[in-house]
Chain A
């Protein structure tokens, strides 16, 4: 017997109110990252060893900056989700787990903001 209302059963969000959200976001970002990482590796490959001026010019172009911003957003979210699972799997002590999960968010959001700032600065030259 269940005390769940039919509506809650249908939503299937469980006790954490998240349901399959984590799993699904991991997959959506994974699919997005396949072409983005491929693009990034190929373009990086073409610019290995370029002098500073050329690198800056290349990074500031819309055709570089826009896919790069997508890569940063999808990539940092994907890695935040992944590291969260690693911490949840291996760290058993509650206090350490909570601290590491907070740190994980801090690193992902922090580095993400740094990268976005850098790309915008390279694009608009403020």
Chain B
């Protein structure tokens, strides 16, 4: 008989939900999550490019979906995901050359990445959408 069906009654070591989340932990898992997000986002990118190549009608279909409320939410998320992964990726590259490993430094750069990625995303959307409104 397999023991896998039995529930362990012995004490188990605490798992993720027990610990306080330091900035470095948040930025680390968010880097992976945004990586997966960017992966999904490339389906949108491929559709955009293919639609542009196929002709005006295909492009209008894409524009209709991208401009819909759900499309805008997805695009907003994709923008932030891309910018976050880019900023935190640069942070990872600095670690790869051996810099910025002190606890305090890693926490500061982590907080900086979160703030700057949100600020840049909002800038792109607020100014970008405002610019589009003015151009039409």
Contact: B52 with A56, CB < 8 Å?
yes
Contact: B39 with A83, CB < 8 Å?
yes
Contact: B132 with A48, CB < 8 Å?
yes
Contact: B49 with A30, CB < 8 Å?
no
Least CB distance, B34 to chain A, in whole angstroms: 10
Residues on the B chain within 8 Å of A102, using CB: none
| Interface residues, chain A, with chain B CB atoms under 8 Å away | 27, 30-31, 33-34, 37-38, 41, 45, 48-49, 52, 55-56, 59, 75-76, 79, 82-83, 86, 107, 111, 114-115, 117-119, 121-122
Q: Say yes or no: is B115 at the interface (Cβ < 8 Å to chain A).
A: no
- Give the residue among A111, A117, A122 with the most B Cβ atoms within 10 A: A111
Q: Do A119 and B49 form a contact, CB below 8 Å, given A30-B93, A49-B135?
A: yes
Q: Do A49 and B49 form a contact, CB below 8 Å, given A30-B93, A79-B35?
A: no
Residues on the A chain within 8 Å of B36, using CB: 83, 86
Total A-B contacts with CB atoms under 8 angstroms apart: 76
Contact: A59 with B90, CB < 8 Å?
no
Least CB distance, B128 to chain A, in whole angstroms: 5
Residues on the B chain within 8 Å of A111, using CB: 42-43, 46
Q: Say yes or no: is B65 at the interface (Cβ < 8 Å to chain A).
A: no
Residues on the A chain within 8 Å of B27, using CB: none
Q: Do A115 and B124 form a contact, CB below 8 Å, given A49-B135, A86-B36?
A: no
Contact: B46 with A45, CB < 8 Å?
no
Residues on the B chain within 8 Å of A59, using CB: 49, 52
Contact: B38 with A79, CB < 8 Å?
yes
Q: Say yes or no: is B25 at the interface (Cβ < 8 Å to chain A).
A: no
Interface stretch (choices B2-10, B12-20, B81-89, B99-107):
B81-89
Q: Which residue of A has the minimal Cβ distance to B50?
A: A118
Q: How many angstroms between the C-alpha atoms of A86 and B36 in the bound complex?
A: 9
